[in-house]
Each structure stands twice: as structure tokens, then as C-alpha cells.
């Protein structure tokens, strides 16, 4: 089968590279510089395993990066739209890139091609796309929704072996073709309407975001009464109705999806005359959390004024160099605003990216360099390299009686305390 994936952002490149193992795939973008780099196997972001996969596709010539709509679309049985849908000022999903892609692909469609929306969009978007395309072609074509559920940091694995492949389509030949397209991938197949597929995507993200906000609230209570949040998670997790995953407390969710999708769903609710209540509250509580925690950390560690602070982990989660809505973007300016003498920082992959965001931060070559002389150490991202540090070495290098703030509960409080440091965790005393 021949496929075009429009948009070579995160989702587009991963999808194109994974599918090129089994089909001929055009990765299409209007950004010529980006396409030139991709043709050389250069990926504009860090994602484990992706570079090798792209190279494999380029070598086999089954992965073709192009800026030419005609070349790609006229050969394709399925055209996936995977462009960005940033939030508009009113919080709704801005469909301008989806519209531009629909208009550009329309004149080149071959008969009965399937246009599938992979971008995260509200239900009802398929009808809009159909209208936009119809204005530019008389060709017969079909529409479908193919939402994605991949996570940054494990995107290749998530795409090759997803929990489920959701096919939002109603016409039998379309369903058949999309099943064939996904046949080499594992995971359950769910055939639903396009509206259910798109609601399912927003619902999954909003629910996961809700879970994080909820467990963070419970963590706050644990800090008041001496309960240990990880023990509480064990207690609830054994209930099969609840489950033990995705209850990991911290400074709140970040990244490019949850903050945006929660508010887009809220705006969608408003647009159809429904209340935004819970969704807006999720966003509000998550947004407030990091400042509340920073005030508490400051109080517990005697303030940050005139101190050297080591910040470990800058990306919003491990195994990515993505800093979008990362805790570091709030934590570092807060430290600087509250008088920290020096902020030293280390991240295994995000240093280059971080250099664009932070001023007057000393980036170090390894975590121990950052810790040297620090009166406060803050672990923000649970990179494997950062959760296995040698505690006695930390205590030797840091300033005497340094404070260790473990925002990801990766260290044993007792071990840190025995090494002569003050330990502050989340949801644990």
C-alpha cells in the first residue's frame, strides 16, 4: 500500500517511519529545510530508536520525504493528516493547518483514496475536512479518523505495538483497507465512528490528566498526616477497578498534549452548550500546583536566597528533549527570582534545547558537576541516569547539610538522610 503522512512533526515522523517497514510511505511537509534534513536521516528532536528506523526506511527507499503534494498524494491509497492543531486564543483546536493540508491535497487525490485525520481534532472535523476538500476536487474520496496514542520517549514502541488501533470509519471498504494498512502492527482493533474515535482520544488524555491531578491532591494530604503516597497507591492499585498504573505524583503534568487537550475538550464542551467545570478545574489545579510546591520547598529548605541550586532533569519527562510545559521552565525562573546565587543544571538529552530557554544557568557535563557545592539539589525528571546517583558521592560533593528535593520520589528518604542531607519528597514525610 502507498501512504502519505502530511506533517513531519513528532507524530508524523514516527508514524511514517514505523509504517515504512511495511508500506511505501511519503513523509510530506511544506518546510523545505526540515525535509532536506530528514532526507539525510536527521531528526529535529530526540526519540529513542527513531533515527535508526528512519535510516532503515531511507535505505530501503520505502520512506520518501518530500515537499511535493502532487508526487505523494496522486500515488497514495491513504493520506494521513498529522499536522499540528495548536490551541486558538479561545482554547479551541485551531484547524488552520488541517484546512491548509486538506486544500493542498485535494487536487491530487486518486479515485476512492482515504483521507484519515491523525491530528487531535474535535468530533465534527471530518465534515469540515470533507467540505474543504470538495471545493478543490470532483474526485470521489473517503474520510476516516485514526487517532494516535503514542507517548514521547516510547513513541516507536507505542506505534509498533499499541494497546489498540482505533479506526474511525463507517464504510466497509474503508474499514477493510485501514485494517489491512495496520495489519503488521499488534494491539486490539477497534472499529468505531469517527466521532467516537476523536472523542476517545480527548477522553483518554483528559482522564489521564485528571488522574495525575487527583493523585497529586492525595499526595498533599499524605504530607499532612504521615501516610506514604506510594503505599497508598499500592492500596488502591490492587483494586482491579482502579489499577496500579499512572498514579505517579509529582509537580503536575506537562508536555505538549495534556495541557492543550484538556482545555480543548473544555472549549469543545462550551461550544456545544455543555459545562466546562471539571475540565477547567483539572487545568487550574495542575497549573497552580508547581507554584504551591515551590513555596513549600522554599520554606522547608530555608529559602533559596544566595544559594547554589542544582537542577537535575530539564525535559518534561525522561527519554525526550522536549521542554514544552516542563517543570524546569517554572522552577528555574522561580529560583532566580527568589535570589538563588547560582543555578547549575544537567539533563542527559535536553541541554541544547534548554540553552534556548534559560539565561544565567550553568550547564554541566554530568549530574555530579551540577551537585558540586550545591546547597539545594532538585530532581525534576526521572531519567535513568538521574535516579541511580551514588548517594554518598552526592553528600561528599554537595554543600554540608544540603537539601535534596526529590520531586519524582526516586530515592529512599532514609538513605538520603543517613548521608547527612535533608530529604523532601512528594506525598511522603
**Positions marked catalytic:** 257
* Whole-number Å distance between alpha carbons of 233 and 362: 37
Cell numbers describing residue 237:
492499585
Q: Which of 301, 328 has the CB closer to ligand UGA?
A: 328
Residues that bind ligand UGA (CB under 6 A): 148-152, 205, 208, 212, 246-248, 250, 253-255, 257-258, 316-317
Number of other CB atoms surrounding residue 97 within 10 Å: 19
CA distances from 195 to 124, 147, 200, 216 (A): 7, 11, 8, 32
Choose between 104 and 208: whose C-beta lies nearer to ligand UGA. 208
Buried b (16+ CB within 10 A) or exposed e, 23-57: bbbbbbbbeeebbeebeebebeebbbbbeebbeeb
In the complex, minimum distance from the CB of residue 182 to ligand UGA, in angstroms, rounded to a whole number: 16
Nearer Cβ to ligand UGA (162/367) = 162
- The answer to whether 209 and 281 have CB atoms below 8 angstroms apart is no
d(CA 311, CA 334): 12
Smallest distance from ligand UGA to CB 205, Å: 5
Secondary element (H or E) of residue 236: helix 229-237
Q: Least distance (Å) from ligand UGA to the CB of residue 211?
A: 7
> How near is the Cβ of 370 to ligand UGA at its closest, in Å?
21
| Cβ neighbourhood burial of 339 (10 Å; 0-12, 13-18, 19+) | exposed
Nearer to ligand UGA among residue 132 and residue 247 (C-beta): 247
Nearest in space to 5 (alpha carbons), one of 47, 52, 54: 54
Q: Closest residue (Cβ) to ligand UGA?
A: 248
Cell matching residue 93? 483546536
- The smaller minimum CB distance to ligand UGA, of residues 264 and 375, is found at 264
Residue 68: alpha-carbon gap to chain centroid? 29
Amino acid at each position: 500500500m502507498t501512504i502519505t503522512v502530511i506533517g513531519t512533526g513528532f507524530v508524523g515522523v514516527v508514524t511514517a517511519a514505523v509504517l515504512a517497514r511495511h508500506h511505501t510511505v511519503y513523509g510530506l511537509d511544506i518546510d523545505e529545510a526540515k525535509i532536506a534534513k530528514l532526507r539525510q536521516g536527521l531528526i529535529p528532536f530526540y526519540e529513542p530508536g527513531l533515527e535508526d528506523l528512519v535510516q532503515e526506511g531511507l535505505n530501503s527507499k520505502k520512506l520518501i520525504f518530500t515537499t511535493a503534494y502532487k508526487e505523494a498524494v496522486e500515488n497514495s491509497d491513504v493520506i494521513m493528516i498529522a499536522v499540528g492543531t495548536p490551541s486558538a486564543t479561545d482554547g479551541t483546536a485551531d484547524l488552520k493547518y488541517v484546512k491548509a493540508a486538506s486544500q493542498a491535497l485535494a487536487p491530487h487525490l486518486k479515485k476512492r483514496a482515504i483521507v484519515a485525520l491523525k491530528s487531535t481534532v474535535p468530533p465534527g472535523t471530518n465534515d469540515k475536512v470533507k467540505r474543504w476538500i470538495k471545493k478543490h476536487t470532483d474526485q470521489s474520496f473517503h474520510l476516516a479518523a485514526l487517532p494516535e496514542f503514542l507517548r514521547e520517549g516510547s513513541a516507536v514502541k507505542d506505534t509498533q505495538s499499541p494497546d489498540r488501533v482505533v479506526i474511525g470509519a463507517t464504510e466497509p471498504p474503508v474499514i477493510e483497507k485501514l485494517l489491512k494498512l495496520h495489519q503488521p502492527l499488534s494491539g486490539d482493533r477497534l472499529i468505531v465512528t469517527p466521532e467516537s474515535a476523536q472523542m476517545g482520544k480527548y477522553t483518554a488524555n483528559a482522564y489521564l490528566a485528571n488522574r495525575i491531578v487527583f493523585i497529586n491532591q492525595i499526595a498533599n494530604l499524605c504530607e499532612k498526616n504521615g501516610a506514604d503516597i506510594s503505599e497508598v497507591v499500592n492500596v488502591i492499585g490492587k483494586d482491579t477497578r482502579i489499577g496500579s498504573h499512572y498514579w505517579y505524583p509529582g509537580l503536575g503534568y506537562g508536555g505538549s498534549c495534556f495541557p492543550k487537550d484538556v482545555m480543548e475538550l473544555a472549549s469543545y464542551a462550551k461550544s456545544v452548550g455543555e459545562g466546562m467545570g471539571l475540565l477547567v478545574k483539572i487545568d487550574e489545579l495542575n497549573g497552580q500546583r508547581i507554584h504551591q510546591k515551590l513555596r513549600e520547598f522554599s520554606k522547608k529548605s530555608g529559602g533559596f536566597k544566595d544559594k547554589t541550586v542544582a537542577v537535575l532533569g530539564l525535559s518534561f519527562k525522561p527519554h525526550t528533549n522536549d521542554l514544552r510545559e516542563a517543570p524546569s521552565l517554572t522552577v528555574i525562573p522561580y529560583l532566580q527570582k527568589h535570589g538563588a546565587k547560582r543555578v547549575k543544571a544537567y539533563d542527559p538529552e535536553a541541554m541544547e534545547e534548554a540553552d534556548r530557554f534559560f539565561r544565567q544557568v550553568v550547564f554541566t557535563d554530568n549530574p555530579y558537576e551540577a551537585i558540586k557545592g550545591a546547597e539545594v539539589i532538585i530532581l525534576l525528571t526521572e531519567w535513568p541516569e538521574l535516579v541511580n546517583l551514588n548517594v554518598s558521592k552526592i553528600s561528599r560533593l554537595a554543600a554540608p547539610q544540603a537539601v535534596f528535593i526529590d520531586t519524582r520520589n526516586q530515592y529512599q528518604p532514609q538513605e538520603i538522610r543517613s548521608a547527612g542531607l535533608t530529604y523532601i519528597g512528594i506525598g511522603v514525610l
